[in-house]
Structure 1
Amino acid sequence: MASAVLAPELYLNRELAWVDFNQRVLAQALDGRTPLLEQAKFSAIFSNNLDEFFMVRVASLKSQVEAGITSLSIDGLTPLQQLQAIQAKLRPVLEQQQQHYRGELKPKLAEYGVYVLDYPQLNAGQREWLNNHFRTAIFPVLTPLAVDPAHPFPFISNLSLNIAALIRDPETGEQQFARVKVPQKNLPRFIKLPLELAQQETPALYSAVPLEQVVAFNLALLFPGMTIEGHYFFRVTRDADLELRELEADDLMIALQEGLRKRRMGGEVVRLEVADEMPQDVVDLLMEGMAVEAEDLYRINGPLGLDDLFALTGVPLPQFKDSPQLARIAAPLARAQKALLADGSIKPEEFESVFDVLKRGDVLLHHPYDLFSSSVEEFIGQAADDPDVLAIKMTLYRVSKDSKVISSLITAAENGKQVMALVELKARFDEENNIQWARQLENAGVHVVYGVIGLKTHTKVTLVLRREKDELRSYVHVGTGNYNSKTSRLYTDVGLLSARPELGQDLVELFNYLTGFSKQQSFRKLLVAPVTLRAGMEALIQREIEHAKAGAEGHIIVKMNSLVDPRIIALLYEASRAGVQIELIIRGVCSLRPGLEGHSSNISVISIIGRFLEHSRIFWFGNGGNPEAFIGSADWMGRNLDRRVEAVTPVEDPELRSSLEKLLHTYLADNRGAWDMQADGQFLQRLCNENENNSQLELMENWNAVQGQCL
């Protein structure tokens, strides 16, 4: 077995690798082949990702520095060195984003009648309308806060957009500073102007002004009798990670609610963004007032908070968006749809339940190409209504706000079934939503539990127990994605529906582990973290090493979000040295260095960034010509292998296993959204000259071409 940790130079820093990943996201916005409004979307995603990165990862590093921690990461960097490297890497990327917004996105949108205007560009009619709108809809909710000896520096809340106003008293000549918070919560970031007021050469389809400019150019109404000498925008990011003691379930909910109140305000400032034109004395005042270090200051040459560019995706220009995604009903489930039975699309004698389908064999799902509503939601919905179903058990990590899954669980409880939902209250940034769902489920009679002390429950599993003749039969779903209808349309995920008895018994015992005091140490088919998953994955890699040493072909293909676990990486290096061919499809963070002579010359790594977020985790092992494939919720990260509850299932049906292998090769052949990782950690985008292989587009077309009803 390989050593647990190798020399630091064989690993790449996790935080810097994440910055590289987010730079690949921004590259989608900068790519001229990306439709214009999709460019706005990717720029917004880049900003949104970055906010979360600062609130959690940068905040953690800063806490380590403040605590005097100097221990090294696996690549040999101290927390302070990591912070310095992050800042150096980010600053030019942020300028790239702003240059694209100023020089590419805005001008090109204007060519087609989409105008994001600055206030000084407005004509007289637009200014009059906007000023009237300000007086009636914005002015009443503003609260200017002066800063002077009688008024201490105000608290600046997390991710708030603010105006630093310089005001002079014409009588005394004294200059004063005031802060005005831009009211983003209930107002749109871009205030739309009546199209009939536009006077541009290209007829306006959309015309808007940023909210902060509307406020800034009307400051005189907030400070009557004073002279406005300048206004400058700034934005604050604070530590928003929740630190929770291990508590009993009842106390955990209370602790989370208190923590969420603190998060809304935020902890220590980890980033201060200011408009590039802000004078240094104003910057100094802000930094002193919020105790901001020099390295946490970011001067931005353009609008702050570009995550609000999401708003532009609603502009009616379909030719500048991705073509609509036509998902389908998974072919095996085509006649198992109650909605089609109800509207007469299929005859009663043609209808069969999901349970009838699964008795014949497993069903492999691939979202968003397979409809979540006609597969997973249909499975849970039919279980809720079926009089022979006695119990439903499932884990909930991130759930959409209009969840049909939740509605089905409530219906099942009302129908007298035993329903258990494990709601993970500690799902980061979804805690508040999950607290609300937990309460609603409890009020409906669902037995709600909050997981295992010391572990976050990240697994995506459902167990349905059905009475058939004189015995109980189990039906299961094991997936890679959340039970979330919204993300099922935006993320790629795979899932397995099955009636295999061994999987059912494994899930019975897994739920006993989650809800009681079971210390289950083995499972029949499932690999479960933190019990058997690490050892199982290491054994599968080791088996490929033994095949290679015996002269047979060793081959591993893995698709996941992140690879950072040093033990797994060390074992992959050992496998490469033994001659195992290893092909990794890692969307985000990869701490392994491919192509290193003597260590990883047989390892390749690609990252695919496209219109859908690649979220599926698939593990394929050649096994000397008798391949095995697995899917599940876990990445190869220490947290997934050791500190979370995860479940990975084998896909044993030969046809379904073959489908997964073909799917992986479709990704490996991509030359549109794929990036090749170099030994130094850099990624080079694949560029095609003639035949473009867009894996996501190909899967859309292929999935829709096979039998099944497109919706």
Structure 2
Amino acid sequence: MTRPAHLASLDHDDDPFAGSEGSDRYFNRELSWLAFNRRVLEEACNTAHPLLERVRFLSISGSNLDEFFMVRVAGLKGQQLQDVARLSNDGLTSGQQLAAIVAEADALVTSQRDVWRDLRRQLAETGIAVLSSRTIDEALSGEDLAWLETQFREQLFPILTPQALDPAHPFPFIPNKGLAVMFDLVRIADDQPIRELVMIPAPMPRFLRLPGEKARYIAVESLVKRFAPLVFPGYRVIGGAEFRVLRDSDLEIEEEAEDLVRYFANAIKRRRRGRVIRLELESGMPKRLGSVLRDELGGADCFVTESGAFLGVGDLESIVDEDRPDLKFPPFSPRFPERIREYGGDCFAAIKAKDIVVHHPYETFDVVLAFLKQAAADPDVVAIKQTLYRAGKQPAVINALIAAAEAGKSVTAVVELKARFDEEQNLLWASALERAGVQVVYGFIDWKTHAKVSMVVRRESGQYRTYCHFGTGNYHPITAKVYTDLSFFTADPRLGLDAAQMFNYITGYVEPENMALISLSPRDLRPRLMRLIDTEIDNAKAGRPAAIWAKMNSVVDPAVIDKLYEASDAGVQIDLIIRGICCLKPGVPGLSENIRVKSVIGRFLEHSRIWCFGNGGMLPNDGAQVFISSADWMQRNFDRRIEYMLPIENKTVHQQILDQVMVANLIDNEQSWELQGDGSYVRTQPGDRPFNLHRYFMTNPSLSGRGASLAASGSVPKLSLRSRR
């Protein structure tokens, strides 16, 4: 489905010369993202975290960097190769951006290598050894080596396929994220040199753990190098070195695609063979081997980096699974909202009585599943409509929708095929849903349906009542354990009608009319946001208090940034909590001296989108306008995605989001970084009043979920905003 003609001009970043004079007004998007990943890596050095959690942060920084190259760098490289004359908002060409990106990315890789060296040493001191091919013999006993050789012969050797590299055997295809070892050999019989390549099978675990109480790990590629004589009998091994390949993994969508499902199935296959965008070489690789790899895997069009003695640090995540609770964060069990327990677990009765907001991961995602499961089993429920952007591989949400359809209910699922790297899983879910009788809709071809909304229509007293769930995160049971997000449940008939119009817009292309509360992109979300900022500007100019608080993942859109600069100039006090990319320059005299930006990086990944406006008073205040949303402030969210934004009117929910969630984020000083006007980030120092927002919410139940127990106990401490100005 294509977009309406009257919305076709909304892509603000399609102007090839947009923002060509913006270097003084905006930070570069890509470099800002690298700065975010640098903050993630810094957490691997944070001795306040347990050791294995630090390894996890290192792993995350590696996985993040992989995806960045596969998508963002690949896109810029494509522009450069095609001579696309598009400048970034800060005025850089694709070539200029790539040069800066590669320099910073290489510095980041060097830091990752140094961090891993230190963590590896500390792991060894705590009884967790990660052995290399060079240290296997000296670190293991004869019995251990015998076991290892048996494992290699029986479990790994049958899967390996050595490939000679000569005129009769051309260089093989290396898949995306493919890891391989190249060997230089000499045939003993006639001293004939030969070059061989051994691919590491992708389905295999990256590490082998030796038996025993002491944890000893060996990477698969180290085993291949250690037992190369078994792989190449009759040859003398001269040298061996590892390399890894990243390919262009973005999918381009053709609006003329006749069958979207078939198109995506084929596009996923093409992605596996995308252009090589990055070649990682083991440090110290012989020049002759490095030259061969450069020539065979993209030449001058790919970026080559030496990544230390361990390639693909994202795979270190498997070591974190070691059963060492003393080296991990203390276990945490999320709470189930007491409000729903007070109604005997009846989600509909609790929601009908009063709006509820659930704060994940401190409160369990099981409440969302309970809502859907109850809808599936309830004979009075007649219809369920659900958006699915990322549902992950856990089938709980899918099973609930299937159960509802098999029970004879009308079930509609909007499955987003363009959810990057989840396309294949979403195709599988769509097929399973359709087989069960669910009406599966794929939405617009060139817009992603990113809004997280579920609605249930229930027959009550001869009439129909609509119950809605609006989420700032995905319907993903796994990420809901580590992402901080809000789930808002309501039976407000105005929101029910708005949600119904939103679904009709996606499924039937029916333009919404007279939306009561919800704003949708790409229709009216940006204009609504601009009007809210303008109101604060008017308040400031009239001498009234004026303030904006906003929390989200990224701020990129130049139009919104310019409006915030205008608000700052008028005297509006602006506090932004931006975890990732921020192209806005804060604290710059004459531009943004009233804007402060911080980033929170800690145990949980801050993901909720919350926007607050003083509305004639300083924040926080009871009359403030508070909104939750599925959108970040980026061009893609405003112009190329279906997103929602809705106001919070319930007093208790309003207080929880504004006075608890937002204030806690602002006063956190143990996990926070302050963005400076030059683009650098400075870690906040706790001083004599330390505050950790994650620890606070792990130990203090939410307001709206506590029901009558809140009034009885009054035990939730009131947070106070200690001004940083």
Corresponding residue SS for 2:84: coil
Please point out which of 619, 641, 645 is paired with 2:642: 645
Does residue 148 (structure 1) correspond to residue 159 (structure 2)? The answer is: no
Name the counterpart of 1:60. 75
Name the counterpart of 1:470. 462
Name the counterpart of 1:602. 594
Does residue 287 (structure 1) correspond to residue 294 (structure 2)? The answer is: yes
> How far has the Cα of 1:260 moved from its partner?
1.1
Does residue 267 (structure 1) correspond to residue 284 (structure 2)? The answer is: no
5 Å matches for 1:501-516? 501-516=493-508
% identical aligned pairs = 43
Does residue 98 (structure 1) correspond to residue 91 (structure 2)? The answer is: no
Corresponding residue SS for 1:10: coil
5 Å matches for 1:357-506? 357-373=350-366, 375-506=367-498
Deviation per CA, 1:276-304: give whole Å up to 9, x if none: 11011111111001123287110122200
The alignment covers a number of residue pairs equal to 679
Corresponding residue SS for 1:590: coil
Q: After alignment, is 31-40 or 564-573 more displaced?
A: 31-40
Name the counterpart of 1:257. 265
> How far has the Cα of 1:691 moved from its partner?
3.0
Closer, same or farther in 2 for the Cα pair 1:294/1:457, shift >3 Å?
closer
> How far has the Cα of 1:422 moved from its partner?
0.3
Does residue 591 (structure 1) correspond to residue 588 (structure 2)? The answer is: no
5 Å matches for 1:616-631? 616-625=608-617, 626-631=623-628
Corresponding residue SS for 2:89: coil
CA distance in 2, matches of 1:174, 1:682: 55
Name the counterpart of 2:191. 173
> How far has the Cα of 1:221 moved from its partner?
2.1
Contact 1:22 1:49 in 2 (8 A): yes
Does residue 190 (structure 1) correspond to residue 207 (structure 2)? The answer is: yes
Q: After alignment, is 427-436 or 309-318 more displaced?
A: 309-318
5 Å matches for 1:53-132? 53-102=68-117, 104-122=118-136, 123=140, 124-132=142-150
Please point out which of 206, 215, 240 is paired with 1:206: 215
Q: Which runs of 5+ in 2 are unaligned?
A: 1-17, 618-622, 710-725
> How far has the Cα of 1:215 moved from its partner?
0.8
> How far has the Cα of 1:522 moved from its partner?
4.5
Contact 1:269 1:292 in 2 (8 A): no
Q: After alignment, is 121-130 or 149-158 more displaced?
A: 121-130
Contact 2:177 2:245 in 1 (8 A): yes
Deviation per CA, 1:660-682: give whole Å up to 9, x if none: 11211111111111000000111
Corresponding residue SS for 1:120: coil
CA distance in 2, matches of 1:70, 1:684: 35
Contact 1:640 1:646 in 2 (8 A): yes
Please point out which of 573, 589, 593 is paired with 1:581: 573
Name the counterpart of 1:344. none
Q: After alignment, is 317-326 or 168-177 more displaced?
A: 168-177
CA distance in 1, matches of 2:685, 2:672: 9
Contact 2:175 2:245 in 1 (8 A): yes
Contact 1:327 1:704 in 2 (8 A): no
Name the counterpart of 2:13. none
Contact 1:521 1:531 in 2 (8 A): no
Letter in 2 for 1:168: V
Deviation per CA, 1:197-254: give whole Å up to 9, x if none: xxxxxxx531121110101121222222111111001001010111121256x71110
CA distance in 2, matches of 1:320, 1:174: 51
Contact 2:674 2:684 in 1 (8 A): yes
CA distance in 2, matches of 1:324, 1:388: 39
Q: Which runs of 5+ in 1 are unaligned?
A: 196-203, 337-350
> How far has the Cα of 1:521 moved from its partner?
5.2
Please point out which of 308, 314, 318 is paired with 1:301: 308
CA distance in 1, matches of 2:402, 2:94: 47
> How far has the Cα of 1:389 moved from its partner?
0.8
Contact 2:58 2:112 in 1 (8 A): yes
Name the counterpart of 2:519. 527
Corresponding residue SS for 1:598: coil
Letter in 1 for 2:636: R
Name the counterpart of 1:219. 228
Contact 2:129 2:217 in 1 (8 A): yes
CA distance in 2, matches of 1:404, 1:232: 44
Deviation per CA, 1:579-622: give whole Å up to 9, x if none: 00000000000000000101100000000011111110000011
CA distance in 1, matches of 2:450, 2:345: 32
CA distance in 2, matches of 1:247, 1:654: 48
> How far has the Cα of 1:8 moved from its partner?
2.9
TM-score normalised by L of structure 2: 0.91
Contact 1:56 1:240 in 2 (8 A): yes
CA distance in 2, matches of 1:92, 1:110: 26
Contact 1:170 1:226 in 2 (8 A): yes
Please point out which of 677, 680, 685 is paired with 1:679: 677
CA distance in 1, matches of 2:438, 2:543: 55
Letter in 2 for 1:588: G
Corresponding residue SS for 1:43: helix
Name the counterpart of 2:26. 11
CA distance in 1, matches of 2:65, 2:553: 17
Does residue 356 (structure 1) correspond to residue 349 (structure 2)? The answer is: yes
CA distance in 1, matches of 2:444, 2:525: 17
Corresponding residue SS for 1:179: strand
> How far has the Cα of 1:689 moved from its partner?
3.5
CA distance in 2, matches of 1:358, 1:121: 61
Letter in 2 for 1:480: T
Contact 1:326 1:704 in 2 (8 A): no
Does residue 561 (structure 1) correspond to residue 553 (structure 2)? The answer is: yes
CA distance in 2, matches of 1:507, 1:71: 37
CA distance in 2, matches of 1:471, 1:227: 82
Contact 1:87 1:295 in 2 (8 A): no
Letter in 2 for 1:188: P
Contact 1:621 1:629 in 2 (8 A): yes
CA distance in 2, matches of 1:605, 1:243: 34
> How far has the Cα of 1:704 moved from its partner?
7.7
Contact 1:522 1:532 in 2 (8 A): no
Contact 1:495 1:631 in 2 (8 A): no
CA distance in 1, matches of 2:389, 2:308: 38
Deviation per CA, 1:466-487: give whole Å up to 9, x if none: 1111211111111101111111
> Once superposed, what is the RMSD of the aligned Cα atoms?
1.6
Name the counterpart of 2:3. none
Please point out which of 22, 33, 36 is paired with 1:21: 36
Corresponding residue SS for 2:188: coil
Corresponding residue SS for 1:8: coil
Corresponding residue SS for 2:101: helix
Name the counterpart of 2:153. 135
Corresponding residue SS for 2:92: coil
CA distance in 1, matches of 2:642, 2:580: 21
Letter in 1 for 2:223: V
Does residue 36 (structure 1) correspond to residue 51 (structure 2)? The answer is: yes
Letter in 1 for 2:225: A
CA distance in 1, matches of 2:560, 2:514: 21
